Amino acid sequence: MSDEDVETKLAEWWTTLAEALGLGEVPADRDAILGLAGVAAHNVVRPAAPITTFLAGYAAGRAGGSAEDVAAAVATARAAVPR
C-alpha cells in the first residue's frame, strides 16, 4: 500500500469513526496524535500507544474538547513519556 493510499484510508477512517461516535468535526491534529502514539510505542512499550492516546483524548474531553485542549493534552502526554 502506498503512502498516499495509507493517508486516504486513514482520513476515511477518521471521518467514519468520528461520525459513528457522534463527534462530528473533531478539533484535533491527527498527525500530533499519531506522533504521540509513536513516541509512547518506542519509548515505553508498543501497547502504550493506544493507552496514551486514549488517556490524552479523555483528558482533552474533560478539559472541554477544544483544539487547544487537545493540543495541551497531547503536549502534556508527550512530556510524560520517558526519554
pLDDT at position 24 over 90: no
Q: Where are the domains of the chain?
A: 3-80
Nearest to 39 by CA among 1, 12, 76, 2: 76
Tens of pLDDT, residue by residue over 37-69, are 999 999 999 999 999 999 999 999 999 999 999
40 close to 57: Cβ distance less than 8 angstroms: no
Cell numbers that stand for 81 in this block: 513519556
* Per-residue pLDDT at 26: 87
Q: What mean pLDDT value characterizes the chain?
A: 95
- What Rg, from alpha-carbon coordinates, does the chain have? 13
The predicted model scores a pTM of 0.88
Question: Is the pLDDT at 74 greater than 90, yes or no?
Answer: yes
